[in-house]
């Protein structure tokens, strides 16, 4: 587990755009997984 100082350094040294892209990618993946589950359930109903 990192110290809070080290954790803050990770965020201050990183580019904000990288975190935004990771967030958007994770959100898109989450939506696609939900859509796939819904399609599976609807197909079984």
Q: What is the pLDDT of residues 3-38, one digit of tens each?
A: 777 766 666 677 888 889 999 999 999 999 999 999
The predicted model scores a pTM of 0.62
Q: What integer pLDDT is reported at residue 41 of this predicted model?
A: 94
Q: What integer pLDDT is reported at residue 17 of this predicted model?
A: 87
Domain span at residue 26 reads 4-44
Residue 2: pLDDT above 70? no
Cα-based distances in Å from 42 to 21, 31, 32, 34: 31, 16, 15, 12
Q: What integer pLDDT is reported at residue 44 of this predicted model?
A: 87
Could you give the CA distance from residue 14 to residue 33 in angstroms, rounded to a whole number?
A: 28
Could you give the CA distance from residue 29 to residue 21 in angstroms, rounded to a whole number?
A: 12
Q: What integer pLDDT is reported at residue 11 of this predicted model?
A: 65
Count of domains in the chain? 1
- Closest C-alpha to 1, from 21, 14, 10: 10
């Amino acid at each position: 587990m990192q110290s809070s100082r080290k954790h803050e350094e990770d965020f201050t040294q990183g580019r904000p755009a990288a975190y935004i892209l990771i967030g958007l990618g994770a959100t898109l993946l989450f939506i696609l997984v939900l859509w796939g589950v819904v399609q599976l359930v609807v197909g079984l109903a």
